[in-house]
Amino acid sequence: MPEKSIHSIFEEFKKLKVLVVGDVMVDAYIWGSADRISPEAPVPVVKTKRREYRLGGAANVALNLHALGAVPQLCAVIGQDPEGDRFMERLAAIGIDESAIIRSQSRPTTVKTRILSGYQHMLRIDSENESPLEHGEEEAFLAKALNCLKETDVVIFEDYDKGTLTKSTITRILDGARQLGIPTVVDPKRKNFLDYKGATVFKPNLKELKEGLKLDDDLETLLEISQAAKKLREKIDIEEVFLTLSEKGVMVATSGEEIHIPAHVRSISDVSGAGDTVISIIAICKALDLNASFTAKLANLGGGLVCEHVGVVPVDTVKLIEEAEKYNIITSL
């Protein structure tokens, strides 16, 4: 069948609506200089130069989807607090639909504050409540998510173990998507790792894979990784396991094939947010039913590009297209 150009594929991305459910947060940065040690304790004194607030977690996935041309619908829970106000202001400024965001009276907006001197990451302070949603908030969250399914091409579960996603909410959203024939893509964490039975694509990294399957041995070789991926796919009935392997690249395992794409050599500044870019690319490629090889190559490029920046940032689509053309990434459909 004829090959599609990378430009035509990105044009098709613009037709997609993507539902992102899960944990959102504010990624805060305090940038400064550390020129002396505190007289109060043997720690550096950081003299603040500027502060920056970015959308994080599932919200960064929405940012990546927006950058890639798709239309994201974000369904999540934040606090009724100043940090939540800041979160909503940033969503509105970018133009991302905020109608499925729930404001909670009982839990704060998750904030991860990073303190940096120059480009040296010195400390991170987390403000959060990791307990499951209260019953009323859970039902409101589910109602929003299930309603959004009616106009969705693919669903992303963005799980950061912050309490928004539970076994119950996961099962009900998966069932709703399955009934409508909508593919589901999962970025998992430890607590709910085995609760995504029947999802379309499951994207853990090596640490998550090892912890989720309770493996004692390190996964060092591609053969060991492949065997673990097969075990996972069979254990929770996943169509496709998409593993991010850090410096080893990515691996995709289905019932019919296994693909390994090595990482490209880059100047790595920060790996934060790379998984958000990867899951976004996987989801929109899956919505268009693009093949696994093309998806893996494009996601591998996108994840690598964001690692060249300090802090959590969405992918630069212009650079991604340039690299896709450079490496001749095309797909036959």
Tokens describing residue 23: 């944990």
Q: Beta partners for 127?
A: 111
295 and 285 Cβ atoms separated by less than 8 Å: yes
Which pLDDT tens digit goes with each residue over 208-224? 999 999 998 888 899 99
Among residues 281, 322, 275, 273, the alpha carbon closest in space to that of 299 is found at 281
**According to the model, what pLDDT value does residue 88 have?**
97
Q: How far apart are CA 305 and CA 259, in angstroms?
A: 21
Q: How far apart are CA 59 and CA 37, in angstroms?
A: 36
274 and 312 Cβ atoms separated by less than 8 Å: no
Q: How far apart are CA 225 and CA 218, in angstroms?
A: 9
Select which of 159, 216, 276, 289 is catalytic. 276
What sign has the CA pseudo-torsion 316, 319, 323, 328?
A: positive
Domain ranges of the chain: 3-33+46-327
Which pLDDT tens digit goes with each residue over 280-316? 999 999 999 999 999 999 999 999 898 887 766 789 9
Count of C-beta atoms within a 10 Å radius of residue 216: 5
Element (H, E) at 102: strand 101-104
Is 276 catalytic? The answer is: yes
Q: Beta partners for 126?
A: 112
Which pLDDT tens digit goes with each residue over 128-154? 999 999 999 999 999 999 999 999 999
Q: How far apart are CA 28 and CA 113, in angstroms?
A: 4
Confidence of residue 1 (pLDDT cuts 50, 70, 90): very low
Q: What is the CA radius of gyration of the chain?
A: 20
Which pLDDT tens digit goes with each residue over 258-288? 999 998 765 555 556 789 999 999 999 999 9
201 and 242 Cβ atoms separated by less than 8 Å: yes
Which pLDDT tens digit goes with each residue over 186-204? 999 999 999 999 999 999 9
What sign has the CA pseudo-torsion 131, 176, 274, 223?
A: positive
Confidence of residue 4 (pLDDT cuts 50, 70, 90): confident
Domain 3-33+46-327 belongs to what architecture? 3-Layer(aba) Sandwich (3.40)
Average pLDDT over residues 81-106: 96
Chain-centroid distance of CA 93 in Å reads 21
Q: How far apart are CA 274 and CA 278, in angstroms?
A: 6
Alpha-carbon distance values, 52 to 30, 55, 112, 312 (Å) = 7, 10, 12, 11
